[in-house]
Amino acid sequence: KYTQLPGSWTYTEAVSKLSYVVEPLHPFTEYIFRVAWIFTAQLQLYSL
């Protein structure tokens, strides 16, 4: 999301990889990224 644009966070994407590439980013532009971690019972079983 561009910091200069008003509005709410409407873009979401569930990812299962440990890394994520954000592109294309523009130089001299300030971005804000929001990350939410959601753990389910299934993921907790794998983390034991």
pLDDT at res. 2: 53
Query: In this structure, is residue 42 part of a structural domain?
Result: yes
Query: In this structure, is residue 14 part of a structural domain?
Result: no
Q: Domain of residue 28: give its range.
A: 1-9+19-48
Query: In this structure, is residue 48 part of a structural domain?
Result: yes
**pLDDT over threshold 70, residue 4:** no
pLDDT at res. 37: 74
- CA–CA distances in Å: residue 40 to residues 13, 18, 43, 47: 16, 16, 5, 11
pLDDT tens per residue, range 8-45: 666 677 777 778 788 888 888 888 777 777 766 665 54
pLDDT at res. 46: 47
Query: In this structure, is residue 32 part of a structural domain?
Result: yes
> What whole-number distance in Å separates Cα of residue 41 and Cα of residue 25?
35
Query: In this structure, is residue 31 part of a structural domain?
Result: yes
Q: How many domains does the chain have?
A: 1
